[in-house]
Amino acid sequence: MDKRRLLAGLISGDLPKYALSELLEEKRIGDLRKLPEPQLRQLIADIEVDLQRIDQEEKELEERVAADPEAYRQLMQYRQGLKEMGYLELLKEIEMLEKKLAVLD
């Protein structure tokens, strides 16, 4: 995913079709507790990949901030987009699911 498209998608609300954005768009987070263990493990793995992509995008924007005042505005919009799409809430949900899986192991 091109970082400009990702940023533009986050800012406009037209998110790329990552597992993370699909989960949040469909508001299926509450249904995750009902998934069978193999599907739950795969979903967590997919979400972790998405979160790594998001973290990388944020890191690249932070690097640009030092050289470009406009990049600071973009970074703040990016962070607001993450907040609006429930990034922090999803991290908490993943932690809960990982605890559930640890009990199953």
Q: Which domain holds residue 52?
A: 3-104
Whether 35 and 96 have beta carbons less than 8 Å apart is answered as no
> Which tens digit of pLDDT belongs to each residue from 75-105?
778 777 777 767 667 777 777 777 766 666 5
Distance (Å, whole) CA 98 – CA 25: 22
> Which tens digit of pLDDT belongs to each residue from 66-77?
777 777 777 778
Task: Report pTM.
Answer: 0.46
Total domains in the chain come to 1
Tokens at 47, concatenated: 């979400």
